[in-house]
């Protein structure tokens, strides 16, 4: 992966912009807004995805595959940290002296002169961001936004609004979340991740503390997560609004019922006792809603109206998203890629599947994460009845000797529950053979495992 060069100044006028890796949720969202602002946008990506198709409809010229000839003559090039330094378009842009900026710099450019709400955390930030955006719209506010996933009700991950609020999902994976002029920071949790970049848990937490201390108005942060509690202790002279089960939290969660397809809960906030039922499952989503409520109340909106507005949120793509039913088997997809996320997603799925079995097709993401957390992944995945483990989606990393998906499958205590299937083409048939009517199959991971869904549905027909 490339190291972002934040010393590269952002041009006053981005002009014609070329995105390398334009199909990602964050990149495509930024591109969408820039097209709407009148910029000519070109780009490239490895695959022709729905994001790519949507941008083409808006007028973007997009190439599939990376080649120096794709670059053209842009005024600015936008990249992500997941890019290889040998990418031919990136190399040529550097050789030609074209300004190459990180996507967080492009996003910071867009948020200039707006009141920025930045949502960060190891888990839950896409959903929490989506809840805030949905609620603001429901309350009659017209915010600008860029989320890390498509908000189901809007069919988009970004939008340009007329009000002064700008809501974004801020990426902590490479430290780029420090480069925003943040007014309000929401920290969902600080569960250890990306230690390949930070080197230690202490450094990871210190970076979150910098992010929170940069917030000019207030910080909303979990009162339950141990990492968030550690970060809170590092904050100085900040207005802090806590949320969680802990007594005395600004938004205190009580009476969570996550036993069915919709999670219900109560909150104590501002002397009021309020209740809500979300349209999505899972105890983790009640926690996400509490964080979103802390932000909205901190912004000055009525607590009861804000909670009702949050409850209209229908979810985002790739978060326990139903794609089809075949032979009575429901096939879902979920983005979870950290043990904590995997456990939360599977508990929510368990509440929905009822008496059926839960079959998870899991694609590990990153060699470093798999090496460091293979035992934790096995423990989380064991919440399923059966698990099919694929090989690792490398993303921005080179292979590591001896690190494969087998590290995860070999860590299962009960080996009858797990099947290591390193060949992609074999996995759909294996998963389908494990499923009966009333069961769920869930593809899980933040790589390209979602592309297996049509193959799974087809395999179930056999």
For the chain, state the CA radius of gyration.
22
Q: Are strands 329-334 and 440-444 parallel, antiparallel or unpaired?
A: parallel
The sign of the CA dihedral 62, 65, 69, 72 is positive
Active site residues per annotation: 125-126, 169
In angstroms, the CA 213 to CA 17 distance is 32
* 339 contacts 328 by C-beta, under 8 angstroms: no
Identify the H or E element spanning 276. Answer: strand 272-277
In angstroms, the CA 309 to CA 296 distance is 10
Q: Are strands 329-334 and 321-326 parallel, antiparallel or unpaired?
A: antiparallel
The residue behind tokens 């189901």 is 152
**Beta carbons within 10 angstroms of residue 342's beta carbon:** 25
Q: Which tokens hold the place of 385?
A: 């009845």
In angstroms, the CA 147 to CA 257 distance is 28
Helix, strand, coil percent values for the chain (each to nearest 5): 35, 25, 40
Helix/strand/coil for 33: helix
The residue behind tokens 């991971």 is 445
Which whole-number Å values give the CA distances from 337 to 51, 122, 203, 369, in the listed order?
Answer: 21, 10, 22, 9
Please report how the helices 25-36 and 103-111 are oriented relative to each other, as an axis angle in degrees rounded to 10: 40
Q: Which of 345, 381, 382 is nearest to 363 (CA)?
A: 381
**Beta carbons within 10 angstroms of residue 84's beta carbon:** 13
In angstroms, the CA 408 to CA 370 distance is 7
Helix/strand/coil for 442: strand
């Amino acid at each position: 992966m490339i190291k972002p060069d934040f010393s590269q100044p952002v041009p006053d006028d981005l002009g014609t912009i070329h995105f390398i890796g334009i199909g990602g949720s964050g990149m495509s969202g930024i591109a969408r807004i820039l097209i709407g602002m009148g910029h000519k946008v070109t780009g490239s990506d490895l695959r022709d995805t729905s994001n790519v198709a949507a941008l083409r409809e808006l007028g973007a010229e997009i190439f599939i595959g990376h080649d120096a000839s794709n670059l053209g003559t842009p005024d600015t090039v936008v990249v992500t940290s997941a890019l290889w330094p040998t990418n031919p378009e990136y190399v040529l842009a550097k050789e030609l002296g074209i300004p190459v900026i990180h996507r967080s710099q492009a996003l910071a450019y867009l948020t200039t002169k707006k009141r920025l709400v930045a949502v960060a955390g190891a888990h839950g930030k896409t959903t929490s961001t989506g809840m805030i955006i949905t609620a603001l719209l429901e309350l009659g506010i017209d915010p600008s936004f860029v989320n890390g996933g498509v908000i189901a009700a809007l069919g988009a991950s970004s939008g340009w609004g007329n009000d002064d609020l700008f809501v974004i999902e801020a990426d902590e994976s490479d430290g780029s979340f420090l480069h925003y002029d943040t007014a309000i920071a929401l920290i969902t949790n600080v569960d250890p991740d990306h230690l390949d970049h930070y080197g230690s848990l202490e450094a990871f937490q210190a970076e979150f503390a910098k992010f929170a201390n940069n917030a000019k108005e207030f910080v909303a942060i979990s009162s339950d997560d141990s990492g968030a509690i550690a970060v809170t202790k590092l904050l100085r002279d900040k207005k802090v609004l806590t949320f969680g089960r802990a007594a005395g939290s600004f938004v205190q969660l009580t009476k969570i019922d996550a036993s069915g397809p919709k999670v219900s809960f109560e909150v104590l906030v501002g002397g009021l006792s309020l209740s809500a039922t979300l349209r999505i499952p899972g105890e983790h989503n009640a926690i996400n809603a509490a964080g979103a409520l802390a932000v909205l109340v901190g912004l000055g909106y009525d607590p009861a109206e804000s909670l009702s507005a949050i409850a209209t949120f229908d979810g985002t793509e790739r978060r326990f998203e139903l794609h089809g039913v075949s032979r009575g088997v429901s096939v879902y997809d979920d983005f979870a890629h950290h043990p904590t996320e995997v456990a939360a997603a599977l508990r929510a799925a368990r509440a929905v599947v009822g008496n059926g079995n839960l079959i998870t097709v899991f694609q590990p993401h990153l060699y470093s994460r798999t090496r460091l957390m293979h035992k934790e992944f096995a423990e989380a995945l064991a919440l399923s009845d059966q698990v099919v483990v694929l090989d690792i989606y490398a993303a921005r990393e080179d292979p590591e000797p001896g690190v494969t998906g087998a590290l995860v499958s070999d860590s299962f205590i009960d080996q009858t529950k797990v099947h290591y299937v390193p060949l992609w083409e074999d996995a759909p048939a294996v998963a389908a053979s494990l499923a009966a009517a009333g069961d769920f199959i869930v593809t899980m991971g933040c790589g390209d495992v979602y592309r297996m869904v049509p193959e799974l549905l087809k395999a179930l027909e056999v």
